[in-house]
C-alpha cells in the first residue's frame, strides 16, 4: 500500500475524490471533441492510475483491454495505440484551451508514456515541491523525467516558456525548467505539404519539343491541387513556357522546411496512333521506388495534343487528387508520426472520402489544435470549415454554421486562387442556408481547377438536392466521364436521379456500390429503392445499419435531410419508398 501511495504522489498532487469528478465532467462535456474510443482510453488510464497499476500499462495491454485486439497483437507492426493516444492528447489540449481556467483540474497525458498527470491550473507551485522535483531529477535516469515531475504545472501558453517564479528559488526553478521543457506534452509537431519534384529526362531530336511540352503541362496540372507543392526543372533557354501551356508561375516555388520530398520521374512516348506515359514516384531521401504505372490513350482521329493533356491531367489527379498516390502515402505517414497542420488536413481528407465519423471526430480535434498555432493557414481553415459541415454540426447549430462560414471566408481571403478554399466556402454557405452564394463559390472553384473532377461532383450534388436537378446531373456526368472511379457525390447524384425518374433497380445498384453504414443518404436511398421494388430483406438490412449508426441521436432523419438542403419534393419521394418498405422518415432517428 505504501508503494502504491508513493507512486501516486510522484505524479499527482490531487486526491482521487477530486480527480474522478474532473474525469466525469470532461467525458460528459460536448466541448470535448473525442471519439468513444478516446473516452474509453482516458477512463482506462485514470482507472489504472488510481489502482496503482500505471507501471504495468503498455501499448500491448491497452490494445487488449481497450481496443479489443487479440492476444497475438504486436505493437511493433500495429501502431494503433500510439496513434490513438496521440489523438487523445490532441483532443485534451484542444478542450482545455477552449474551456480555459473553468476546468479547474486538468488531466494531461505526457508523450512517451501512458501515465496521466493531474494539474490544478490556478495553484502556484510550492517551493518544497520544486526542491523535491529537482532532487528526483538529479537522482533518476533521464528517461524518467517526463513521467515524474512532482510539481503542479502552471497554465500552458502555446509556444511560450513556462515561468516558475518562486521567491528565493530562481536558480532551482531555472534548472527544473531546463530539465523538462523539451518534453512538455503540448509542444506541437508541425507538418508541411509534400513537395513533388518533376523529373522529365531530356530528349533529343524530333521528340524533344514534345517531351518539354508534356513536362510543362504536367507541372501546370499538378499545381492545380492544393494537397502538394510542385517544383519543376528550369526550362531550357529559348523555351517560352507560356506559349506551351498558357500558364505562367508568379514566382519559383520554394521547398518548405520539413516538407517530405517525392521525385516524379516521367517518360513520354508517342506515335501516330498512341500516346503513352510511364511514371514512377521515388522517395527523394531514401531513393526508394514507392509507386509506378503506365497510362495509354489512342489518338484515332482526335487532337493529339488534347489526348496527351487528358492523359497528363489524369496522372496529376491520380497523384494529388482525393486519395491520390501522394496523398495516400502522406496519410499513412501521418498515422505513424502524428502531427498538426497539414497532417490534420490529411486526416480530414481521408475521413471525408470514407465518410468515417470517428475519423472526422479525430480530424476535428486535430484541426482545432492546428488553428491555435496556425491561424492564418488557409488549408487548415478550409479543412476545419469542411469538417464542421460534414459532421452535421453546422446544419444543426446556427452558431457553428456561422463559424464555418467565417473560417472558409478567411481561407478564401488568404488563398484566393485555391479551389479548396472555395469548396469549403461553398459547403459552409450551403449549410448556413445561403444557397445562391454557395453555388457562386462552387462555380468559382470549378473555374480555378477544371482538372479536379471532385469539384463538379460536390457542386452537382448540392445543386441536385436543392432542386436544380438538370444542372446537378450535368455536373455529375462531367465527373463521371473524367474519373476512372466515380466520385461519391457524383454517384449519389446519379443514383438519386435514377430514383426520381422511377429507375429503382438502377438506383439500388448504385446505392449498393456506395454502401457505408455511416452514409445516411445512401442508406435511405437503398431502403427506398428496395421498398419500391418489394425487396423487404434488402430494406431491412439497410435499416439495421442506419439505426446502429444513428443510435442515441435525438434528431429525426427527416429533419436532418431538410437541414442538409434536401427539397421537400425529394424528401417526399424517398418517404414514399420507405413507406412501401414499412418505414416512415419521421420515425427514424
DSSP 173-221: HHHHHHHHGGG-TT---EE---EEEEE-----GGGHHHHHHHHHHHHHH
Q: Is residue 21 domain-shared with residue 141, that is, in the same domain?
A: yes
List, edge to edge, every strand of the sheet that includes 274-283.
229-231, 195-199, 261-270, 274-283, 289-298
Last-in-domain residue among 329, 350, 365: 329
Statement to judge: residues 73 and 173 lie in one domain: yes
Q: Is residue 419 part of a domain?
A: no
The predicted pLDDT at position 140 comes to: 34
Q: What is the pLDDT of residues 415-460, one digit of tens each?
A: 998 999 999 999 999 999 999 999 999 999 999 988 888 899 999 9
- Does residue 41 sit in the same domain as residue 105? yes
Boundary of a domain, candidates 271, 306, 329: 329
Helix, strand, or coil (residue 290): strand
**271 belongs to a structural domain:** yes
- For 204, residues 6+ apart whose C-beta sits below 8 A from its C-beta are none
Would you say residue 18 lies in a domain?
yes
Sign for the CA dihedral angle at 493, 498, 501, 505 comes to negative
DSSP reduced 3-state for 278: strand
216 plus 175 within the same structural domain: no
CATH code for the domain in which residue 216 is found: 3.40.50.10610
Q: Is there a domain that residue 421 lies in?
A: no
Question: In this structure, is residue 544 part of a structural domain?
Answer: yes
pTM of the model: 0.63
499 or 557, greater pLDDT: 499
Side-chain-side CA neighbours of 581 within 13 Å: the count stands at 29
Residue 209 sits in the same domain as residue 174: no
User: pLDDT, tens digit, for every residue of 130-161?
Assistant: 344 334 333 333 333 333 333 333 333 333 32
Q: Which of 156, 183, 210 is the last residue of a domain?
A: 183
Pair (171, 207) in one structural domain: no
Count up the domains in the chain and report the number.
3
* Domain match, 161 and 15 both: yes
Flag whether 428 is in a domain. no
Q: Is 395 exposed, middle or buried (0-12, 13-18, 19+ CB in 10 A)?
A: buried
**Residue 26 CB-density burial (10 A; 0-12 exposed, 13-18 middle, 19+ buried):** buried
213 and 179 share one domain: no
Give me the CATH number covering residue 507: 1.25.40
234 and 204 in one domain? Answer: yes
For residue range 365-377, what is the model confidence (pLDDT) as tens digits? 889 988 888 889 9
pLDDT in tens, 291-345: 888 888 777 656 777 878 888 888 888 888 877 888 888 888 877 777 888 888 9
Same domain, 207 and 146: no
Name the region of 341 (left: φ>0; alpha: ψ -120 to 50; beta: rest). left
Domain containing 589 equals: 453-589
Q: Is 207 found in the same domain as 179?
A: no
Three-state secondary-structure class, residue 237: coil
Same domain, 153 and 217: no
Whether 261 is covered by a domain: the verdict is yes
Instruction: Tell me the per-residue pLDDT of 171-230, one tens digit each, with 9 for 90 and over.
Output: 333 333 333 333 334 445 778 888 888 887 766 665 677 777 888 888 888 888 888 888
In a domain, 380, yes or no: no
Amino acid at each position: 500500500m505504501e508503494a502504491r501511495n508513493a507512486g501516486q504522489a510522484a505524479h499527482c498532487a490531487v486526491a482521487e475524490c477530486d480527480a474522478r469528478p474532473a474525469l466525469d465532467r470532461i467525458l460528459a462535456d460536448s466541448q470535448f471533441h473525442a471519439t468513444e474510443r478516446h473516452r474509453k482510453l482516458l477512463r482506462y488510464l485514470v482507472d489504472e492510475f488510481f489502482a496503482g497499476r500505471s507501471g504495468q500499462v503498455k501499448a500491448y495491454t491497452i490494445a487488449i483491454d481497450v481496443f479489443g485486439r487479440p492476444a497475438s497483437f504486436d505493437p511493433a507492426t500495429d501502431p494503433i495505440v500510439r496513434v490513438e493516444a496521440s489523438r487523445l492528447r490532441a483532443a485534451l489540449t484542444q478542450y482545455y484551451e477552449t474551456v480555459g481556467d473553468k476546468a479547474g483540474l486538468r488531466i494531461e497525458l505526457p508523450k512517451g508514456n501512458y501515465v496521466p498527470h493531474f494539474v490544478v491550473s490556478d495553484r502556484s507551485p510550492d517551493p518544497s515541491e520544486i526542491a523535491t522535483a529537482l532532487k528526483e531529477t538529479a537522482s533518476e535516469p533521464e528517461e524518467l523525467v517526463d513521467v515524474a515531475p512532482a510539481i503542479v504545472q502552471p497554465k500552458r501558453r502555446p509556444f511560450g516558456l513556462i515561468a516558475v517564479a518562486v521567491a528565493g528559488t530562481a536558480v532551482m526553478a531555472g534548472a527544473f525548467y531546463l530539465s523538462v521543457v523539451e518534453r512538455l506534452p503540448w509542444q506541437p509537431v508541425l507538418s508541411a505539404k509534400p513537395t513533388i519534384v518533376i523529373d522529365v529526362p531530356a530528349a533529343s531530336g524530333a521528340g524533344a519539343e514534345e517531351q518539354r511540352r508534356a513536362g510543362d503541362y504536367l507541372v501546370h496540372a499538378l499545381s492545380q491541387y492544393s494537397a502538394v507543392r510542385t517544383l519543376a526543372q528550369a526550362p531550357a533557354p529559348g523555351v517560352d513556357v507560356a506559349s506551351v501551356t498558357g500558364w505562367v508561375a508568379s514566382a519559383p516555388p520554394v521547398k518548405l522546411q520539413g516538407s517530405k520530398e517525392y521525385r516524379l520521374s516521367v517518360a513520354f512516348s508517342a506515335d501516330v496512333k498512341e500516346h503513352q506515359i510511364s511514371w514512377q514516384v521515388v522517395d527523394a531521401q531514401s531513393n526508394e521506388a514507392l509507386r509506378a504505372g503506365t497510362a495509354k490513350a489512342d489518338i484515332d482521329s482526335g487532337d493529339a495534343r488534347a489526348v496527351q493533356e487528358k492523359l497528363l491531367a489524369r496522372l496529376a489527379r491520380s497523384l494529388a487528387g482525393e486519395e491520390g498516390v501522394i496523398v495516400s502515402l502522406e496519410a499513412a505517414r501521418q498515422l505513424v508520426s502524428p502531427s498538426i497542420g497539414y497532417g490534420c488536413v490529411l486526416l480530414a481528407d481521408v475521413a471525408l472520402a470514407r465518410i468515417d465519423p470517428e475519423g472526422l471526430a479525430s480530424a476535428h480535434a486535430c484541426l482545432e489544435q492546428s488553428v491555435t498555432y496556425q491561424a492564418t493557414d488557409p488549408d487548415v481553415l478550409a479543412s476545419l470549415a469542411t469538417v464542421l459541415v460534414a459532421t452535421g454540426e453546422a446544419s444543426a447549430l446556427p452558431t457553428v454554421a456561422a463559424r464555418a462560414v467565417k473560417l472558409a471566408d478567411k481561407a478564401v481571403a488568404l488563398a484566393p486562387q485555391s479551389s479548396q478554399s472555395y469548396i469549403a466556402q461553398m459547403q459552409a454557405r450551403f449549410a448556413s442556408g445561403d444557397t445562391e452564394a454557395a453555388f457562386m463559390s462552387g462555380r468559382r472553384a470549378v473555374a480555378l481547377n477544371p482538372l479536379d473532377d471532385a469539384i463538379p461532383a460536390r457542386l452537382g450534388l448540392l445543386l441536385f438536392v436543392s432542386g436544380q436537378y438538370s444542372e446537378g446531373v450535368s455536373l455529375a456526368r462531367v465527373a463521371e466521364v473524367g474519373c476512372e472511379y466515380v466520385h461519391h457525390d457524383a454517384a449519389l447524384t446519379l443514383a438519386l436521379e435514377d430514383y426520381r425518374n422511377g429507375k429503382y433497380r438502377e438506383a439500388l445498384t448504385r446505392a449498393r456500390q456506395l454502401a457505408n453504414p455511416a452514409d445516411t443518404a445512401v442508406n435511405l436511398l437503398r431502403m427506398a429503392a428496395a421498398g419500391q421494388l418489394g425487396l423487404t430483406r434488402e430494406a431491412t438490412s439497410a435499416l439495421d445499419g442506419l439505426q446502429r449508426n444513428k443510435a442515441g441521436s435525438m434528431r429525426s432523419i427527416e429533419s436532418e435531410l431538410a437541414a442538409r438542403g434536401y427539397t421537400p419534393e425529394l424528401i417526399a419521394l424517398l418517404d414514399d419508398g420507405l413507406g412501401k418498405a414499412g418505414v416512415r422518415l419521421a420515425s427514424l432517428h
